[in-house]
Amino acid sequence: MRRPFRRTNQDPRPEGAVFGPLPEATTTPAEPVGGASNDSAPAGTTTPAGPAGTPGTDDATDRGGIPAPAEPADTGRTDTATPAVTGTGAESARGPAAGGPLTDRSSHEPRASEPRASEPRAPEPRTPEPHTETERQPHPEGDVLMRETAHAPATEDTAVGTVGFLYPGYSAEDDVPRMEGLLNEAGGRVRLPLIHTDIGTDAHEVDALLEMGSVHRLVPGAGELREQGAQAVMWACTSASFVFGFDGAHQQVRELAEVAGLPASSTSFAFAHAAQAIGAGRVAVAATYPEDVALLFAEFLQASDISVTGVRSAGIITAAEVGTWGYDEVLALARAGDDPTADAVLLPDTAMHTAAWVTKLEEELAKPVLTAHQVTAWEGLGLIGRAVDCPALGTLFTTHH
């Protein structure tokens, strides 16, 4: 039985703080949130029911990610790609930079001409057949794809894990290279290339968000990320994914996976899977969005079998404004949205800087804090079977499953 959520009425602004306007919150009787349950999701969707999958496995759908479409095996070509190791961390005025180093299938040789009958037949030279194995991956439509993969010798380049970020507009994109630096300092050997998508209108309003998250706006960037060696693609936007609803968000990442030819997921699913992974069955939401949009996120979480104890809305319309917030504003919002009965606090906006402050926020609230960029990176690494122990990114990156 799902628990209803309630809105909180705390004002997150500390005395003397200057940041985006917060509307006066009102307290209303708690009502159950609507939204599709996992049981009602139609066939063909990937539902993140139950405990999250184990990051560090090869199965991209362990945490609900959509696997890449299958490609027929080709016994006469080379299939191995080795991404280049490039990129550096970035500096931000809002927190210390944590930049760091970023880190065939051969056909048989043509047979020699057949010897004449009168000549002795010499043994034919043979090229050893590369070892292959069959990899089973759940298909988003429910079928099982059989994909044959050639195993190339492990090299320094092939050991690098690359997760591509599709990021809407410009506001807190510098958190991505900051996370890359932190992960590599922890020995992660990862790359997080980022491509900006065309957002249309910068507004946390339903119609604008539906357009912002339409797949035709994501297609160009998905192709660029694949060219850069991405092994998985993340739609790094919370509001322009959950706004489609639980089933619509599944359809969005399914289409993205098909376009990119790679496993794909979004920040909304990343939040649901991350909460399940750390055992947070009850969460409090502290959102920068206007109230109507914040409540849609609560509905999405409820449809993922996560109870929402309360929702705090800061009423910010544009991502550009959220991107100007510093640590004091972020902490104030997190405190206002916290609930004593919640197992974790969720901060669902990739326009908000948080990567440098996750551990400080957790210390202040004395519980796990999940932030948009943090969960996006974690989800993407899970899609490529990479687990990194990185205490600088909080409880989520120190909990192994």
What domains appear along the chain, each with residue ranges and CATH number?
Answer: 53-69+134-398 (3.40.50.12500)
Could you tell me which of 273, 223, 213 has the C-alpha nearest to residue 248?
A: 213
Give the global pTM: 0.65
pLDDT at site 65: 58
pLDDT of residue 146: 23
The CA distance from 388 to 161, in Å, is 11
Residue 389 CA, distance from chain mean position: 17
Read off the tokens for 291: 């109230």
Which pLDDT does position 66 carry in this prediction? 57
Angle formed at CA 212 by CA 303 and CA 192, multiple of 5 degrees: 85
**Which pLDDT does position 159 carry in this prediction?**
79
Q: Are strands 144-150 and 132-138 parallel, antiparallel or unpaired?
A: antiparallel
Residues of the chain with pLDDT under 50: 1-62, 71-158
**What is residue 337's predicted lDDT score, i.e. its pLDDT?**
97
Using only C-alpha atoms, the chain has a radius of gyration, in whole angstroms, of 23
